[in-house]
Amino acid sequence: MTELIRKSVGALLADRALEMPDHEALVYPDRGLRYTYREFNEVCEQVAKGLMAIGIEKGENVAVWASNIPEWVSLQYGTGKMGAVLVTVNTNYRAAELEYLLKQSDSTTIFLIEDYKGNSYIDTIYELCPELEYCRPGDLQSKRLPKLKNVFVFSEKDYPGTYKWSDVLSLSTQVTNSQLEERMAELKPDDVINMQYTSGTTGFPKGVMLTHSNLTNNGFNIAKCMKLTEQDRLCIPVPFFHCFGCVIGTLAAVSVGATMVPVQEFDAETVLRTVEQEKCTALHGVPTMFIAELNHPNFENYDLSTLRTGVMAGSNCPVEVMKNVMNKMNISEITICYGQTESSPVITQTRTDDPVELRVETVGRALPNVEVKIVQPGTTQELPYNQQGELCTRGYHVMKGYYKNPDATREAIDEDGWLHTGDLAIMDENGYCRITGRLKDMIIRGGENIYPREIEEFLYTHPKVLDAQVIGVPDEKYGEEVMAWIILKEGATATTDEIKEYFKGKISHHKIPRHIFFTDEYPMTASGKIQKYKLREQSINLLTP
């Protein structure tokens, strides 16, 4: 057991600024931006004071909808200093998904970029809040989102009813250093500071409440398992809105004083160029990212000799990919992480000196101060080693609960504090775990969690669809792809293209089924339950050439 960190996210950064003021903290080579720990801490203090000047209180929910821009990180640590809860929004979201999240989270404030991959965030926010056109910044009276008051745009362009990012910085002069210090002193390690939305089997996203203690300790322990130190430079191409980006990435780096080198939007060649230019020693990614980097036509032109460690997570890693990452990319000490948002996120991790077999065949062993057990599914009865059951975990990393959803919280965390992950696993005598399947039918496509029920519910809104069942099928590029089996209403006809067109612009691109089959019936149990595993078997047979 190691001693737990009992500090706020903001205090963690302040400590680094005191210890290593001139050491590089945050670097964006394409923007020419280089902050030392002292400079970065000062920017985050400005952000914290700006938020306080607007009247944002400790515990108030503030949403951020943006790619990996520098302001995202400043906001993460700025809210970490003044106690607002940062609610992270998936960059792929469209209007309906954003409306649900803002409403369910009671967010009073949203920070957003102008657009992302052809999706205008500006148009979306005006569609949800037409009242913005006529209101003063900070005085939004929205019919659809009554709690939302402040809209900030990461831009210097003027948009009616909104603040600019520079307003946060200029407003900071209204709050004194001592007022910020008072606020920071009020923060407790067990206060919620971050909220991330994840779905369950119901398909409706739930707000996972994570505390300072959850995040600072998880970040630090991940860093230790990677042997990350202040000498390391970590390239972060995974999205900040995921725990992968903002915990395994930025928090792990800050916890040990490493340099953060984010990539704004994933592009394989940009990652390779960034690693070479900045002499990065560590690199994160989901398997599909590493595959794209390894297979880039210009791969051989880049010098990756500085790389040593990193994290691969998000979905199962094929053996050959792991070997190529270690040999061709020089990441000999790469580690594998396993967890979920509800566990801040990492439960188990391989170590840098584990043999290759363990790093490929398992997801490692429990982090320090983390308990793991395998139980008979549906019970709390612990199983012996090498028997398959549900993986459960207990410790500092378990979420505080789901926001405004005590029933779902009770379902996930039992009376003894064990989080039931819903994942099937086998643990050996040394504590190394293999994930063997899922109790839930979640699909993991390229590191993105996709919940069949959400897509099924959407398909039911199509006028020609009688019934729909969505499953995951194996895919070489993404690990898994989405497949929909549809029963049409009597007399109706439809094409796969027509169904795919129905999704466009209404639901995130990565959730649109890649494969669609029409059928008259589903395989059923005697009691009338649909057997999804049989559907999956049929699908694999149909798709196998």
Mean per-residue pLDDT for 130-157?
97
Last residue of a domain, one of 276, 300, 327: 327
Please tell me whether residues 456 and 322 are part of one structural domain. Answer: no
Q: What is the mean pLDDT of residues 67-85?
A: 98
Name the least confident of 112-116, 158-162, 225-229, 441-445.
441-445
Is residue 402 situated within a structural domain? no
Give which of 429, 432, 437, 425 is closest to 392, Cα–Cα.
425
Select from 280, 304, 327 the last residue of a domain: 327
Quick one: 179 and 321 in the same domain? yes
Looking at the structure, do residues 174 and 317 belong to the same domain, yes or no? yes
Judge if 461 and 319 occupy the same domain: no
Instruction: Read off the pLDDT of residues 265-297 as tens digits, 9 standing for 90 and up.
Output: 999 999 999 999 999 999 999 888 898 899 899
* Domain residue limits at 81: 9-327
How far apart, in whole angstroms, are the C-alpha atoms of residue 294 and residue 131? 48
In the chain, what percentage of residues exceed pLDDT 70?
A: 97
Specify whether 200 is located in the same domain as 62: yes
If asked whether residues 322 and 458 sit together in one domain, one would say: no
Within a domain: residue 332? no
Task: Please count the structural domains in the chain.
Answer: 2
User: Helix (H, G, I), strand (E, B), or coil: what is residue 30?
Assistant: helix
The runs of H, that is alpha helices, within 157-211 are 165-171, 177-186
411 domain-assigned:
no
For the cut 80, the answer to whether the pLDDT of residue 196 exceeds it is yes
Are both 80 and 224 inside the same structural domain? yes
Specify the pTM: 0.85
Specify the pLDDT at position 201: 39
- 360 in any annotated domain: no
CATH label of the domain that carries residue 75: 3.40.50.12780
Which pLDDT score is estimated for 147?
98
Residue 258, in any domain of the structure? yes
Give Cα 450 to chain centroid, integer Å: 12
Domain assignment of residue 430, yes or no: no
Please say which residue of 273, 305, 327 terminates a domain. Answer: 327
538 in any annotated domain? yes
Query: And the tokens for 442?
Result: 């979640």
Identify whether 151 is part of a domain: yes
What is the CATH classification number for the domain harbouring 518?
3.30.300.30
CA distances from 136 to 102, 149, 162, 163, 486 (A): 20, 10, 8, 9, 48
CB environment 143-155: b (16+ within 10 A), e (fewer): eebeebbbbbbbe
